[in-house]
Amino acid sequence: MLTIAYIGNGKSTNRYHLPFSLKNENIRVKTIYSRRDNSVWDKIPEVNYVHDLNKIWLDEEIQLVVICTPVEHYEYAKLALENGKHVLVEKPFTQTSDQAKELFAYAKEKNLFIQCYQNRRFDSDFLTVQKVINSGVLGDILEVEMHYDYFRPEVPKSLKFSRENSYLYGHGCHTIDQVLSYFGNPNHITYDVRQLLGKGHFNDYFDLDFFYDSTKVSVKSSYFRLKERPSFIVYGKKGVFVKQTKDRQEEHLKLFYMPTNKDFGIDLPEHYGVLTYVDDDGNYHEEKVISEVGDYGRIYTGVYESIINGKEKIVKDEETIRQMEILEEGINLINE
């Protein structure tokens, strides 16, 4: 059994972590820390809710601390390591790549586990794209477009610029990790990171192009897309795959439809992507592809296996460091 505690009792902990950790039979959630008792989320029976961090640091049963605060990831993670706890950190992992390198080195020195919570590696749409590419039906892959769009103009209107609350840091950390995890480190990257409402405003747009030997992968996101672009488009020498809709786990979580339901996060036929290709005999095909099943809980399974059974981390240290470098390089282009 892996006994864990959370730092933070907001949306991150309650929506994106607890539904998956609580249903893992190898994990026990013992303690949740917050500064004040003002959370809008219902308390979970048999979980200790505390306002004193020492209740976590001095509890020898707690092996893993999960950092789910909006910011201060670096500070809390370092404090957890200092107190001999393994650590899982929400994304973005830190504010800088130097902080990330420091934490990984410190964890290694103390023989402790630390990893970023990259649950989006287990999005249904991303897993389905991998299945299609790996099948070889598209031939050599020429270009991949990944979109993560909103139409929420009120958000950038109400927020001033900051690194921590930028769109690039807040959402680029999802898609950039997907690129690095599947395609690897690119040969080079071009950046287009903007404040569409002007200088001083929230960063509300980014378009990053990752160049590999013969493949370009584009990550595009905007707060001003009344009609969302497809989640993924994959172009190969023999065809194209278009996945219009995103993974549905977040949609279900927002409706409080939990992973304990058998159809949680499952795509219906109208959500399936469309594969269009020409076979080796020159015949044209167009068909729907049944979506893979997404499961954010796979991160917790991987964390358990790494800490308890010594297996390799799902999210490698160098992948997290490279992501932080990319986020820094992109956001530093903005003239605040």
SS3 38: coil
Residue 87's pLDDT is 98
Tokens of 285: 């095909």
Q: How confident is the model at residue 70 (pLDDT cuts 50, 70, 90)?
A: confident
Cα(249)–Cα(258) distance, integer angstroms:
9
Residue 36's pLDDT is 83
Q: Which residues contact 245 (CB under 8 A, 6 or more apart)?
A: 125, 231, 267, 271
Strands (E), 273-316: 273-278, 284-289
All domains in the chain, ordered by first residue:
2-117 (3.40.50.720), 122-294+327-331 (3.30.360.10)
- pLDDT tens digits, residue range 101-128? 999 999 999 999 999 999 999 999 999 9
Q: Which residues contact 332 (CB under 8 A, 6 or more apart)?
A: none
Q: Compute how many other C-beta atoms are within 10 angstroms of the C-beta atom of residue 143.
A: 15
Residue 263's pLDDT is 96
- Kindly tell me if the per-residue pLDDT of 335 is higher than 80: no
Element containing residue 209 per DSSP (H, E): strand 205-211
- pLDDT tens digits, residue range 132-191? 999 999 999 999 999 999 999 998 898 899 888 899 999 999 999 999 999 999 999 999
- Kindly tell me if the per-residue pLDDT of 336 is higher than 70: no
Average pLDDT over residues 226-245: 97
The strand pair at 273-278 and 284-289 is best described as antiparallel
Element containing residue 167 per DSSP (H, E): helix 167-183
Which strands form 2-7's sheet, in the order they lie side by side?
48-50, 27-33, 2-7, 64-67, 86-89, 114-116
Question: Would you say 212 and 140 are in contact if contact means Cβ atoms under 8 Å apart?
Answer: no
- pLDDT tens digits, residue range 273-315? 999 999 999 999 999 999 999 999 999 999 999 999 999 999 9
Exposure of 52 by Cβ count < 10 A (0-12 exposed, 13-18 middle, 19+ buried)?
exposed
- Kindly tell me if the per-residue pLDDT of 48 is higher than 70: yes
Higher pLDDT, 71 or 255: 255
Q: What angle do CA 85, 90, 91 make, to 5 degrees?
A: 135
- What is the pLDDT of the chain when averaged over all its residues? 95
Residue 29's pLDDT is 98
Q: How confident is the model at residue 71 (pLDDT cuts 50, 70, 90)?
A: confident
Average pLDDT over residues 181-202: 95
